[in-house]
Structure 1
Amino acid sequence: MKLGFVGTGAITEAVITGLMKSRSDIEAIVVSPRSQDVAARLAEMFPIVRVGRDNQDVVDSAEIVFLAVRPQIAEEVVKELRFHGHQQVVSFIAAVPIESLASWIGVPVIITRAIPLPFVAALRGATAIYPPNDDIADLFSSLGTAVQAEDLKQYDLFGAASALMATYFGLLETSARWLEAEGMPYDQASIYLKGLFGSLSHVTDASNEQSFEAMASEFSTKGGLNEQVFAEFKENGGTKALTLALDSVLKRIEQK
């Protein structure tokens, strides 16, 4: 299997790092020279990684081409490239539909969209894929979990859900600053909250329960403190604000 990455940023680095930990069937990887520091670091770390002369060299050298450029320059970059018929193309480019990519590429390639997150470097997390493609799903299953969207709406919903990461850290920051305001050193608050939320993440991974509501109930004594905090969070508009934000993000994704 020969892979090529057009665009060499943080997600490309995470995907390649994960693949090098989990796959033994990759013969060669060629990466774009544009992000010189990342490209050079990958080539130094992994013997099968080569920095391409240019993006066309990446495409010419690969059976599967990954597009990992910013949406603002995607059309310009992709239209300059000459693809080979029946190549596989995997797009990490947010909010650019398959129809647009196909028109820019201009030859009959197989196009799959994917949303890998930074955690794939550690073989964790879930990568959403659309349309279903067993070969690409197998590749991303090596990096954690691959979730194949049944239709475009479901894929867009996965994209909206992936926008929750900053909110997660924002919740931690708000909690840490509250503890600090009550007299606890920020560093100590941070250590405690990392341990608490890290343990909750482990419980979530290990649980056979599908309902988060059931998990919340399991960790909330009737009339206890956990139940109180969530009830007041909900009553003061916390869950409504989150729902409205997700609605807004989904609308933005669907309008692209």
Structure 2
Amino acid sequence: MRIGILGTGTIATALVRGIAEDGHQILVSERSQSNALALSQEFANVSIAPNQQVLDHSDVVILGLMPDVARSLLPEVRFREDQPVVSLMAEVPKSELVSLVAPAQVEGIAIPFPAIAKGGSPVLCCPAGRLMHALFGGRNHVISVQTPSDLEAFLAAQAILSPAVKQLTLARDWLTAKTGEAGEAERFLRLLVGGGLLAAPLEHEGALDDLLAALDTPGGFNAELRDFLLERGMKQHIDDGLEKLFSRFGT
């Protein structure tokens, strides 16, 4: 597939690294020239071109622009009617995007995360049709989202990553203070949590509940610490924080 990408910021650059080994020919725009040059030097199937040439020589176009840049740039270039467009911009609604890229067809919105560069990362796709799977499903995981409101909820929920990692760093620092083994403390916790979360196949629904049940031994360390935190409002704090983030979308 010939893929054109307008914009090579942090996320778009990570996306290129995540799909470049899937057999596509990728043409990136000259924006963020240092990133574009690094990608073209890293991958033989990645080339650089001006914006209009990116569109002219691509079967599908991915928009990795900031919303204000997209609103000023896209009216100045020409899309083809047979050209599906995927947006990485959750802030630009599909109704507005349709007019910005006409006569091309808007396939939907995709939200990758930095870990896509290494593979094994989720990619939120709204909606997740055949093209989305072909673009992002080679080494990463397409997460199907049905409506814009659902996408906003997923975007709010993804913010749990930083608090979860912060908890791990606090446990690492506590363990390091007790043992003096900073490297082993971090390695142990990463393996413990990562291994537990990925032990069950990704297709298995209820894996989180199963893992929690396995850690629910009465009087066990895991159950005791979990209940200690729940009694001090952990669930309410998480619910309140996620609702605050979700309200920022104004829906």
- Which of 152, 163, 167 lines up with 2:148 in the alignment? 152
- In the alignment, structure 2 segments of 5+ residues that lack a partner are none
Measured after TM superposition, the shift of residue 236 of structure 1 is 0.8
Q: Distance in 1 between matches of 2:134 and 2:117?
A: 16
Deviation at 1:67, TM superposition (A): 0.7
* Residues 165 and 72 of structure 1, relative CA distance in 2, 3 Å threshold: farther
Corresponding residue for 1:19?
19
What's the counterpart of residue 248 of structure 1? 244
**CA offsets per residue over residues 33-73 of structure 1, 9 Å max, x none?**
12222211211122221111x22222222111111122343
Is residue 22 of structure 2 the alignment partner of residue 32 of structure 1?
A: no
Cα deviation 1:204-239 (Å, max 9, x = unaligned): 546845252231111231221100111111111112
Equivalent runs, 1:115-194 vs 2, <5 Å: 115-182=111-178, 184-194=180-190
Once the two structures are superposed, residues 69-102 of structure 1 have per-residue CA deviations (whole angstroms, 9 ceiling, x without a partner) of 2234331232332211131111111322111111
- Cα deviations across residues 117-171 of structure 1 (Å, max 9, x unaligned)? 2232233022121134222223222132212222222222222222222222212
Do the aligned partners of residues 86 and 212 (structure 1) sit closer, same or farther apart at CA in structure 2, a change above 3 Å counting?
Answer: same
Q: Is the 8 A contact 1:7 1:67 kept in 2?
A: yes
Gap runs ≥5 in structure 1? none
CA gap of 1:205–1:120, structure 2 versus 1, over 3 A, is farther
CA distance in 2, matches of 1:145, 1:228: 34
Give aligned-pair identity as a percent.
27
Q: Is the 8 A contact 2:84 2:104 kept in 1?
A: no
1:96 alignment counterpart: 92
Measured in 2, the distance between the counterparts of 1:165 and 1:76 equals 33
Is the contact made by 1:121 and 1:143 (CA closer than 8 Å) also made in structure 2?
Answer: no
Residue aligning to 1:235:
231
The answer as to whether partners of 1:137 and 1:148 remain within 8 angstroms in 2 is no
Cα 1:170–1:90 change in 2 (3 A) is: same
Q: Which residue matches 2:4?
A: 4
CA 1:106/1:32 → structure 2, altered by over 3 Å: closer, same or farther? same
Q: Residues 120 and 187 from structure 1, CA distance in 2 versus in 1: closer, same or farther, beyond 3 angstroms?
A: same
Q: Could you tell me how far 1:183 is from its partner in structure 2? A: 6.0
Map of 1:220 onto structure 2:
216
Change (3 A) 1:71 1:62: same
One-letter amino acid of the structure 1 residue matched with residue 249 of structure 2 = I
Distance 2:229 2:17 in 1: 39
Deviation at 1:19, TM superposition (A): 2.0
Report how many residues are paired: 251
